[in-house]
Amino acid sequence: MSKASKYIYFVFCYVFFIFVNIYTSSIVVENITNGLKIDNPVFSLNYVKNTGAAFSILKDAGEFLIILAVIALVLLILYVIKHIKKISLKECFFIALLSGGIAGNLHERIVFGYVRDYFQLNFVNFPVFNISDIFINIGVIALIILIIIKRTK
């Protein structure tokens, strides 16, 4: 696949994930604030305004987290630009997913001053999270697996 095609694929995935992220969060939060209740043994919807990062670390450190997110996005995009010939479509996909998650949380920090979290797992003691967090975690785990597979070949 050509460099241009990979760039287009990456940008398309990235924009798609940002759109899904922002749209989904808006719909879920709007429905929760309008009275939607979901509560079962697996998960519940619990709207939380998170001014920190995961596990409530860096609470009220919004400016620092914005800077950190911008740096992470720039580094990911520079990595894609520098290594576009070598990276696979799977890697492009998961870097775009990771970037879309980072961008989703960044967007909420800039627009609202906090991140809107709403998924709560009821079968384990775990922090409330959002779709951005899911994208970030899947992206990181998948990239680690792809790196391990690449190195073992």
Average pLDDT over residues 39-56: 89
Q: Give the active site residue among 76, 117, 130, 132.
A: 117
Confidence (pLDDT) at 26: 96
Is it the case that residue 37 has pLDDT exceeding 80?
yes
Check if 60 is active-site: no
The tens digit of pLDDT for each residue in 60-106 reads 888 999 999 999 999 999 999 999 999 999 999 999 999 999 999 99
Residue 121 three-state SS = strand
The rounded Cα 137 to chain-centroid distance in angstroms is 7
Average the pLDDT over 54-58 and give the result: 75
Cβ–Cβ contacts within 10 Å for residue 105, how many? 27
Helix (H, G, I), strand (E, B) or coil at 44: strand
Q: Does the pTM exceed 0.85? A: yes
Biggest CA–CA distance in the chain, Å, is 52
What pLDDT score was predicted for residue 104?
97
Residue 39 bears catalytic tag? no
Domain assignment of residue 28, given as a range: 3-152
Residue 55 has pLDDT above 70, yes or no: no
Percentage of the chain surpassing pLDDT 90? 87
Q: Which candidate in 103, 133, 135, 136 is catalytic?
A: 133
Tell whether the model's pLDDT for residue 5 goes beyond 70: yes
CA-to-CA distance for 63 and 149, rounded, in angstroms? Answer: 37
Weakest mean pLDDT among 16-20, 49-53, 124-128, 149-153: 149-153
How many domains does the chain contain in total?
Answer: 1
